[in-house]
Amino acid sequence: MLDLLTGFVEELRAAGLPVSLTESIDAATAIGHVPMEDRLALKYALAATLVKSSSHWKAFDTAFEVYFSLRGPEYAMGAGSEPQGAGASGADGQGEGQGASGGAGAPASAEELAEQLYRALLAGDDGQVAAIARLAVARFAGMEPGRPVGGTYYLYRTLRQLDLDAVMVRLLESARQQALGRTLSALEERLAHDEVRHRLDQVRAAVEDEIRRRLVADRGAAALAKSVRAPLPEEIEFMHATRDELLALQRALHPLSRKLAVRLARKRRHGHTGALDFRSTVRHSLSSGGVPVDLRFRPPHPAKPELVVIADISGSVASFARFTLLLVHALASQFSQVRSFVFIDGIDEVTRLFEEADDVADAVHRVNTEADVVWVDGHSDYGHAFSVFWERWGHEVTNRSSVLLLGDARNNYHAPQAWVIEELRHRARHVYWLNPEPRAYWGSGDSIVATYGAHCDDVVEVRNLRQLEHFVAQLA
Amino acid sequence: MSAPSGLLGFPEPGPARFTGVADVRRRLADAGYLADDGIAGVVHLADRLAKPVLVEGPAGTGKTELAKSVARVTGSRLVRLQCYEGLDESKALYEWNYRKQLLRIQAQQVIEGDDRWSADPAGPRGVTWHDVEEDIFSEEFLLARPLLSAIRSTEPVVLLIDEVDRVELETEALLLEVLSEYQVSIPELGTITATRIPMVFLTSNNTRELSEALKRRCLYLHLDYPTLERERAIVRSRVPGIGEELADQVARIVRSLRTLELKKHPSVSETLDWARTLVLLGVEQVDAEQARATLHVLLKYRSDLERAAKELDLSVGSVR
């Protein structure tokens, strides 16, 4: 058990969780206090001692499911609950579960299995749903032993056969029938819909569990954990994020902006640099007989910086620009003014979209649809965008503005027009360039970040939320 | 790393307050707090390992209530330290009652009838400065603040450190000694160690990252919004006179609301408020119009209200 725990802690560390020595000792002590056969209790004991942040829960969950998937009686391999047809084991590449089957009444086809699933869901029979998920994986996943994969493909194959969409339609239909001839109101319809979706998510999770269990049995926990390891939300790279990862980023962004705003506001209030408040000092000296023991200061009024954000929103760096705009506008109260410009080869101001929209996410959506950013061919042209910016808005940049330039500076070999940045540098307080590419790639191919960077106060590598947070905290 | 809180310096847990996870669940349920497996498991571990519990999660999910309920079922006194910006040692740990000390010194002078004793190391009638110092820095002149009084208490205590994320990062250090060793060091007096180890709960609304040092000393519990079944049970147990059907509907509507992208999702306490409102209005089954009329109990932003009404299709026209 201790070996397993050590391996598990190693895996958590590899996934980026900061697990200290004390915490792993605590975990070892804690599992002595929970019954070994209770898998859920074990999970919560480990979570309480090893995971100290809710954003790490997902990574912990994945690792736990992999490492402890074979524990507990109901999870034993080849359990009798697996109603497996004798001839159907062709897909079952691991050869386990043979002969332990219940045989009688085992469904033969995908349709029949879907039918069983439908009935089990209707009756709310969780045990039956799990059994069907197990069977479905055995029949349809077509797992090949030894393949170093995380199982996404197997999941897809299994679910395609079960055809959950059809099951969903039927479940909704039966919910309507339960209303006894009365038509459901829109609200009831929506609630039924959410309920069905929730149940189907559980089916999906059950199928995933089963696939994972088989993969662990095949390749061992450590190897599988490596294939399914996902980066923590704050370490996801903007440029290569998948759709799911982008959603995770979106969720992480809101609490992040809230935390950052609290921190910045505090920083402002606690700078003790305000001027002496003479009147208040004299007033307070009365209680100590006219001796000014307690000096009073005026609350400090540090000038809030004005922000001008100029972002490249062409394909490759679009999501990076989106998250930076989201974060900056979520923090708008920390700046005296935030103006945003977006470009591809043409440039357009989008500040008004953020001001009008109640919801920043809506605003970003409108930026993508309404801003007029294409000039010739819709390939990034930094030079043209910058020179247009200089002509139209350049005079509005003042010595209180900080200018943020967002992009990878891949200019498609157009003219760089770096003089704009130089001019901006003269006018503005600061000019920063944020580049979402890894530093090692800078200057390769058509990247001319060095040409622009020569005129900036700093060129910062911002590949993930953590780096973005760090930069914004410094800025405000 | 400071003292190895997991090894030699590990405080001995006292007699068990609970016999097991199931026992925790049952007794909390009797006290009106419906815990799930995670919550009960962590409370059980906290008792066995004598470690504080850091409870984090969205507002209104029952973080404070958990500590109160645990105090209730274990028959302990609840000592509460409400954290705020600017909290310091004299508010959290202890303070010398300097007015009383001053009085004591003045009284001494009156008894002596002579105020020159300070110059002479062995003053009149043998009262030295040292004696006086010993005297005025004794327990009699100590004002115990929540942390110290929780440590000194001879009766069982549950210590609740509420909204710990509100104090500054530096102030957190004040808590560390109490949390890992269950003791308070007072320079003039020495170290006061707990006679019986209290159960400690810290709550945080996650407005900032807590320090690693603090987190390392605690068990971590993330309280999220409850599952449909648990929320329904909570509504049933907390709202008197609510029908099963209404409770089910309330829980389901709230779950659907939480899947939307809102500024602030409805919390459990808001769910309860809403359920109470509906009961007061004599509603037995929520329809779209009633839901729309009372939605402001659940949602506190105008944009959220609009979005929810649109997504759940609560406009008047849709009522058939």
Q: Does residue B222 belong to the interface with chain A, where contact is any CB pair within 8 Å?
A: yes
Asked whether residue A343 carries a pLDDT value surpassing 70, the answer given is yes
- The DSSP symbol for A304 reads P
Q: What is the mean pLDDT of residues A48-76?
A: 76
CATH number listed for the domain at residues A243-271+303-475: 3.40.50.410
- Of the residues B202, B222, B242, which one is the last residue of a structural domain? B222
Shared domain check, B174 and B298: no
Residues of A in contact with B53 (CB under 8 A): 48
Residues of B in contact with A361 (CB under 8 A): 261
Q: What is the mean pLDDT of residues A330-334?
A: 73
Residues of B in contact with A198 (CB under 8 A): 228, 255
Write the CB contacts of A108 (distance below 8 Å, at least 6 apart in sequence): A85, A88
- Of the residues B79, B106, B141, which one is the last residue of a structural domain? B141
Which residue type is seen at A367? V
Which of 254-283 (B) contact A at CB < 8 A? 255-256, 259, 261, 263
The pLDDT of residue B86 is 80
The pLDDT of residue B11 is 59
CA A371/CA B135 separation, integer angstroms: 77
Q: Does residue A20 belong to the interface with chain B, where contact is any CB pair within 8 Å?
A: yes
Range of the domain at B17: 7-89+145-222
CB-CB under 8 Å, A185 with B320 = yes
Look up residue B154 and give its two tokens. 């001879």
CB-CB under 8 Å, B45 with A45 = yes
Distance from CA of A134 to the nearest CA of B (A): 25
Residues of B in contact with A359 (CB under 8 A): 261, 263, 303
Distance from CA of A205 to the nearest CA of B (A): 16
Nearest CA in chain A to B320: A185
Nearest CA in chain B to A250: B261
Which of 99-138 (B) contact A at CB < 8 A? none
CB-CB under 8 Å, A45 with B37 = no
pLDDT > 90 fraction of chain B, expressed in percent and rounded: 15
CB-CB under 8 Å, A26 with B51 = yes
Q: Indicate which of B39, B47, B214, B216 best probes the interface with A, i.e. most A CBs within 10 Å of its own CB.
A: B216
Q: What share of chain A is helix, strand, coil (3-state, %, to 5)?
A: 60, 10, 35
Q: From the centroid of its chain, how far is CA A352?
A: 27
Q: Does residue A190 belong to the interface with chain B, where contact is any CB pair within 8 Å?
A: yes
Mind listing the pLDDT tens digit for each residue in B302-314? 878 888 888 776 6
A29, A53, A190: residue with CB nearest B49 = A29
Distance from CA of A19 to the nearest CA of B (A): 9
Which of 157-176 (B) contact A at CB < 8 A? 168
In a domain, residue B2? The reply is no
Which of 38-97 (B) contact A at CB < 8 A? 38, 41-42, 44-45, 48-49, 51, 53-54, 56-57, 85
The pLDDT of residue A93 is 37
Q: Does residue A272 belong to the interface with chain B, where contact is any CB pair within 8 Å?
A: no
Q: What is the CATH number of the domain that holds B18?
A: 3.40.50.300
Q: Does residue B220 belong to the interface with chain A, where contact is any CB pair within 8 Å?
A: yes
In a domain, residue B157? The reply is yes
CA A168/CA A190 separation, integer angstroms: 13
* Residue ranges in A272-381 assigned as alpha helix (H): 278-285, 318-330, 351-356, 360-370
Shared domain check, B181 and B295: no
Asked whether residue B116 carries a pLDDT value surpassing 60, the answer given is no
CA A54/CA A248 separation, integer angstroms: 13
Q: Does residue A255 belong to the interface with chain B, where contact is any CB pair within 8 Å?
A: yes
Q: Does residue B252 belong to the interface with chain A, where contact is any CB pair within 8 Å?
A: yes
Which residue type is seen at A88? A
CA A32/CA B6 separation, integer angstroms: 14
CB-CB under 8 Å, B222 with A57 = yes
- The DSSP symbol for B80 reads E
Banded model confidence at residue A146, pLDDT cuts 50, 70, 90: low
Banded model confidence at residue A70, pLDDT cuts 50, 70, 90: low
CB-CB under 8 Å, A34 with B21 = yes
In a domain, residue B120? The reply is yes
Residues of B in contact with A266 (CB under 8 A): 85, 168
pLDDT > 70 fraction of chain A, expressed in percent and rounded: 80
The pLDDT of residue A323 is 78
In a domain, residue B1? The reply is no
Shared domain check, B118 and B83: no
Q: What is the mean pLDDT of residues B73-89?
A: 89
The pLDDT of residue A155 is 75
- Of the residues B199, B222, B245, which one is the last residue of a structural domain? B222
A347-349 vs A458-461, strand pairing mode: unpaired
A40, A194, A266: residue with CB nearest B256 = A194
The pLDDT of residue A94 is 38
Share the mean pLDDT of chain B: 82
The pLDDT of residue A382 is 85
Banded model confidence at residue B57, pLDDT cuts 50, 70, 90: confident
The answer to which of A64-78, B36-50, B242-256 has the lowest mean pLDDT is: A64-78
In a domain, residue B173? The reply is yes
A183, A195, A262: residue with CB nearest B252 = A195
Banded model confidence at residue A410, pLDDT cuts 50, 70, 90: confident
CB-CB under 8 Å, B291 with A54 = no
The answer to which of B56-65, B103-112, B224-233 has the lowest mean pLDDT is: B103-112
In a domain, residue B167? The reply is yes
A44, A185, A361: residue with CB nearest B319 = A185
Q: Does residue B303 belong to the interface with chain A, where contact is any CB pair within 8 Å?
A: yes
Burial of B193 (0-12, 13-18, 19+ CB in 10 A): middle
Which residue type is seen at A97? G
Write the CB contacts of B106 (distance below 8 Å, at least 6 apart in sequence): none
Mind listing the pLDDT tens digit for each residue in B182-236? 888 888 888 888 888 889 999 998 777 788 889 988 999 998 888 888 999 999 8
Residues of A in contact with B5 (CB under 8 A): 22
The pLDDT of residue A433 is 87
- A–B CB contacts, 8 A cutoff, strictly below: 119
The answer to which of A219-223, B1-5, B81-85 has the lowest mean pLDDT is: B1-5
pTM: 0.75
The pLDDT of residue B200 is 92
The answer to which of A66-70, A183-187, A190-194, A277-281 has the lowest mean pLDDT is: A183-187
Mind listing the pLDDT tens digit for each residue in B154-183? 888 999 999 998 888 778 888 888 888 888
The answer to which of A104-108, A402-406, B82-86, B132-136 has the lowest mean pLDDT is: A104-108
Q: What is the mean pLDDT of residues A229-234?
A: 71
Give the H/E segment covering residue B176: helix B172-181
In a domain, residue B38? The reply is yes
Nearest CA in chain B to A42: B41
Residues of B in contact with A21 (CB under 8 A): 1
Shared domain check, B180 and B106: no
Shared domain check, B244 and B313: yes
Mind listing the pLDDT tens digit for each residue in A268-312? 666 556 778 888 888 888 877 778 877 888 776 666 778 888 888
Asked whether residue B316 carries a pLDDT value surpassing 60, the answer given is no
Mind listing the pLDDT tens digit for each residue in A427-453? 888 888 888 888 888 878 788 888 888
Shared domain check, B252 and B114: no
B45, B224, B312: residue with CB nearest A48 = B45
Residue whose C-alpha is closest to residue A402's, from A434, A373, A372? A434
CA A354/CA A334 separation, integer angstroms: 15
Distance from CA of A194 to the nearest CA of B (A): 6
The pLDDT of residue B113 is 64
Q: What is the mean pLDDT of residues A107-121?
A: 72
Q: Does residue B212 belong to the interface with chain A, where contact is any CB pair within 8 Å?
A: yes
The pLDDT of residue A268 is 65
Give the H/E segment covering residue B246: helix B244-259
Banded model confidence at residue A262, pLDDT cuts 50, 70, 90: confident
Report the number of distinct structural domains present in chain B. Answer: 3
Nearest CA in chain B to A29: B49
Q: Does residue B313 belong to the interface with chain A, where contact is any CB pair within 8 Å?
A: yes
The pLDDT of residue A174 is 77
Shared domain check, B43 and B165: yes
Q: Kindly provide the ipTM of the predicted complex, given to two decimals.
A: 0.80
Residues of B in contact with A57 (CB under 8 A): 222
Which residue type is seen at A1? M
CA A428/CA B248 separation, integer angstroms: 59
Residues of B in contact with A202 (CB under 8 A): none
Banded model confidence at residue B53, pLDDT cuts 50, 70, 90: very high
Write the CB contacts of A2 (distance below 8 Å, at least 6 apart in sequence): A28
Asked whether residue B151 carries a pLDDT value surpassing 80, the answer given is yes
Asked whether residue B267 carries a pLDDT value surpassing 80, the answer given is yes
Shared domain check, B80 and B199: yes
Would you mind telling me the total number of residues written for chain A in this entry?
A: 476
Asked whether residue B55 carries a pLDDT value surpassing 90, the answer given is yes
Q: Does residue A186 belong to the interface with chain B, where contact is any CB pair within 8 Å?
A: yes
Write the CB contacts of B258 (distance below 8 Å, at least 6 apart in sequence): B225, B265, B266
Banded model confidence at residue A181, pLDDT cuts 50, 70, 90: low
Asked whether residue B74 carries a pLDDT value surpassing 70, the answer given is yes
